[in-house]
Amino acid sequence: MVTGSDEYRELEHALQGLFPDADIEVSQSQSRGHAWAALAEVQLAVGSVHLRVERVDAASRARLIDAIELVRFAPAGGEPSIPVLASPYFSPSSQQLLRDADAAFIDYAGNASLTAPGIHIDRRGFANPRKEERGQRDLFSDKASLILRTLLVARSPMGVREIAGNVSSKDEQIRLTPGYVSKVVKELERRGYATRRDEKTVLRHAKELLHDWTSAYRGRRRPNPPQAYFILARSAEDLLPRIAASFDAMSTDHVFTGHAGASLVDRHAVFDVVDVYVKNLEDVASVLADLGARRVERGGNVNISVPYYRESAFYDRQMSKGQMKVASDLQLYLDLYDSPVRGREQAEHLYDRRLRSLVERDDRL
C-alpha cells in the first residue's frame, strides 16, 4: 500500500520526468476532498511555475468528473497556481475525459497534460506499471447488475430492502439479500455513482456509469459461442413470429436481442440475422427441429446462445406489439454497442429514443 509520503515522492519523480532540467520542490497542502494534496514549485529557466496538485481516485468516470469540478471552482488562495489532478495511473479513456475537460493531469506512469505560459506538455501511451487496482465488488457482474438495472429505472430513491424486494418481485427465481444489496450500494458510493438521500439510495452520474458498464461488458465472454442455424424464410424479419410461437409453445424461456430485438421495440437498421438468448441450449433442440432449423458454420440466419448475464439478461424483459419477448432496452444497448454491421448506430438510436431520459436525468429524483 502506498502511503501519503510515498505518493509525494512519486509525484516529485513524475514531475522530474516532465521537467528534467528543473529544480522541483513538493510540499504538503490541505486537501479539498481527496486523499492528499500538494503544492509543487517548478523552477525553470524562464521562471517559476506553481502547481496545486490534488490526488484523485481514478476508479470511475464519476470520481474524475467530481474532481474536475472541485479543482476548477475551488478558491486557490495564495499566489497564482495551476490546478493539476494526479493519480498513480489514468487509463486512456480517463485521459481523454480529462483532456476534453481541459483539466491538467499527471500520472506516475508518465502520462500528462499541462498547458501554461511558455509550457505545453502532452504525454500519452505509457502503460500502467502496477497491477490494476480492483474494487471490492464487480459492479457489472450478473448479480450486481440487477441492482444497477433497478436503480436506473427508479422514479424515486430506494432503500436496500426495497431494491432487494423489487428484484425478487419481478422474477421469483431471483433472490437478492439486503446484505448483498448493501455491499453493492457501498461500492457504488465509493466510485461516486450513488449517494444517500433520507437513508435511501439514488444514482448519480448515470451516463458515466453506463459508459463504464459498456466498457466492462465488452470484455465479458458468453459461456459458449452462439450456435448458428439456417431456417428457410423469405427474410429474417419473417422468422421472428415463427420463432416466438415455437418457443412459447414449448414454454422455453427466451428473449430476442441484437438488431432483431431492437427492431421489435424501435427499429432503425435492417438485419439479416435473428439473435435469441436462451437459458439452456439443451432445452431448444425440439424447438429448432420443429422449425426445420439446420446447424451451419456460416450463412446462418438465426443465432442461439446462452448470455453472459445468465439471469439479468432476461430481467425486466419487455413484450413487443406482437407479444414477442424482447430483452430490456439496457440489455439491447449493451449487446448492440459493439456489434458489427451498424450495431453502434442502432444502439445510439435506442439510447436517444428510449434511454436518454433515464440516463441523463439530473441527479435529483
| Long-range residue pairs from 327-333, CB within 8 A, at least 24 positions apart, any chain | 327/255, 327/256, 327/257, 327/261, 327/277, 328/149, 329/265, 329/354, 329/355, 330/149, 330/152, 330/355, 331/255, 331/257, 332/257, 332/258, 332/261, 332/262, 332/265, 333/210, 333/214
327 and 203 part of one domain: no
186 and 212 part of one domain: yes
Residue 134 has pLDDT above 70, yes or no: no
pLDDT tens-place string over residues 254-303: 999 999 999 999 989 899 999 999 999 988 999 999 999 999 999 999 99
Residue 155 confidence (pLDDT) = 86
Q: What DSSP state is assigned to residue 273?
A: -
**Radius of gyration over alpha carbons of the chain, in Å?**
25
Task: State if pTM tops 0.85.
Answer: no
37 and 91 part of one domain: yes
In a domain, 190, yes or no: yes
206 and 324 part of one domain: no
Of 92, 123, 154, the position where a domain reaches its end is: 123
Q: Return the number of other C-beta atoms located less than 10 Å from residue 129's C-beta.
A: 10
Of 218, 240, 267, the position where a domain reaches its end is: 218
234 and 348 part of one domain: yes
260 and 315 part of one domain: yes
Q: Return the number of other C-beta atoms located less than 10 Å from residue 179's C-beta.
A: 9
309 and 196 part of one domain: no
pLDDT tens-place string over residues 206-245: 999 999 999 999 988 888 889 999 999 999 999 999 999 9
Q: What DSSP state is assigned to residue 222?
A: -
91 and 150 part of one domain: no
Residue 2 confidence (pLDDT) = 45
Q: Return the number of other C-beta atoms located less than 10 Å from residue 297's C-beta.
A: 6
In a domain, 155, yes or no: yes
Residue 32 confidence (pLDDT) = 55
Q: What percent of the chain has pLDDT over 90?
A: 66
Rounded to 10 deg, the angle between the 92-100 and 61-73 helix axes is 30
**What's the total number of domains in the chain?**
3
In a domain, 274, yes or no: yes
Q: Which three cell numbers stand for residue 248?
A: 412459447
In a domain, 245, yes or no: yes
Query: Domain range spanning residue 241?
Result: 227-359
In a domain, 137, yes or no: no
Residue 8 confidence (pLDDT) = 82
Which CATH number fits the domain that encloses residue 267?
A: 3.30.460.40
101 and 39 part of one domain: yes
Which CATH number fits the domain that encloses residue 208?
A: 1.10.10.10
237 and 351 part of one domain: yes
Of 184, 218, 252, the position where a domain reaches its end is: 218
In a domain, 95, yes or no: yes
Which CATH number fits the domain that encloses residue 107?
A: 3.40.1350
Q: Which three cell numbers stand for residue 302?
A: 438465426
In a domain, 130, yes or no: no
Question: In 3D, which of 313, 292, 310 has the Cα closest to residue 301?
Answer: 292
Write down the mean pLDDT value for the chain. Answer: 89
52 and 88 part of one domain: yes
Element (H, E) at 5: helix 4-18
258: left (phi over 0), alpha (psi -120 to 50) or beta: left
240 and 118 part of one domain: no
Residue 346 has pLDDT above 80, yes or no: yes
In a domain, 194, yes or no: yes
